[in-house]
Amino acid sequence: MPPVLATHELRKRYRGRTVVDGVSLTVERGDVYGFLGPNGAGKSTTLRMVLDLVRPTSGRVELFGRPPSDRRVLARVGAIVESPALYTYLSGRDNLRMLADLSGGAPAARIDEVLDRVDLRDRAGDLVRVYSHGMKQRLAIAAALLPRPELIILDEPTNGLDPMGIRAMRELVRSLAADDGLTIVLSSHLLVEVEQVCNRGAIIARGRKRWEGEVAALLAGRERVRLRARPLDRALAIVGELGGAGREVEPGLAHVTGVVAAALVPALVAAGVEVDEVAPESPTLEDVFVSMVDAAEAA
């Protein structure tokens, strides 16, 4: 069975500038796939190429094994690209009626069902013009869910939402994956979102893919020790003698990798270093992401 979504060496150039450079991604059925990158990294352009809104300069896209130019395949995809795109002079329900019809049709009961799902049924008769940003975002998700898609693509779904809205959106994404079994591609520059919600993902910076794989695997093996000791340079020399590496991140504080705390403490004490703090720490996706983006910037 072909992957739900695959891109092969996707490249896009605008006026001589390469904004997406040979990006290959694979999203398998059931994945909640985080597509991470700083603003301007090429995430939205990649997703637009996936959805046939932008033509690749080279490379190709496959949705369920078919190119997106085969429009029938888009009936299996629900998407929100950047801001929610809705007709503000229509009611929420009328927006859904029209978009459902264009996606192959959906009965009124299905419209009620998705409105319930995003908690908008009570406001469905109001013009979208009076909706808050969060309500528009939820309505856009309802529109994407209408045709019972197998793949949902959400481009920066929490942009502009307040903290409550962000939490609600995160819960909704979790529920779409867990309860509905949908494959989800979630583009974001918010790492906590991806870390909390996604099982697989990719990192893109300056138009190039820097990493793709299991989110857990990305974080595994990157444990470090938080070390506060005096004198710190002596402590870091001992870390080096033990085969590890350390970096002073602020005065008196270093992050150490390659050495476990249990081995480090006796060595430091034996060398007469005063140890104020030794704490094993798991890096966040943000740490990994920042280091990758920094490396890309440096390159």
List residues near another protein by CB under 8 A. Answer: 14, 45, 48, 51-55, 71-72, 74-75, 77, 79, 81-90, 94, 98-99, 101-104, 140, 143
Cβ nearer to another protein, comparing 24 with 88: 88
Please tell me the distance from the alpha carbon of residue 117 to that of residue 148, in angstroms, as a whole number. Answer: 13
| Residue placing its CB nearer to another protein in the complex, 87 or 211 | 87
Measure the CA–CA gap between 299 and 267, rounded to whole angstroms: 37
Residue among 151 and 173 whose Cβ is closer to another protein: 151
DSSP state of 174: H
Kindly tell me which of 34 and 84 has the beta carbon lying closer to another protein: 84
Report the residue number, 52 or 113, with the smaller CB distance to another protein: 52
User: C-beta of 166: minimal distance to another protein in Å?
Assistant: 21
Q: How many residues does the chain have?
A: 299
CB of 148 to another protein, least distance (A): 14
Q: Smallest gap, in angstroms, from Cβ of residue 90 to another protein?
A: 6
CA distance 283 to 171: 24
Backbone angles phi, psi at 180, to 5 degrees: -100, -10
Q: Report, in Å, the least distance between residue 19 CB and another protein.
A: 10
Least CB distance to another protein at residue 53 (A): 4
b/e per residue 287-299 (b: at least 16 CB within 10 A) = bbbeebbeebeee
Q: Could you tell me where the beta strands, DSSP code E, fall in 120-273?
A: 151-155, 183-188, 200-205, 208-214, 224-230, 245-250, 253-257
Residue 101 CB coordination number (10 Å): 11
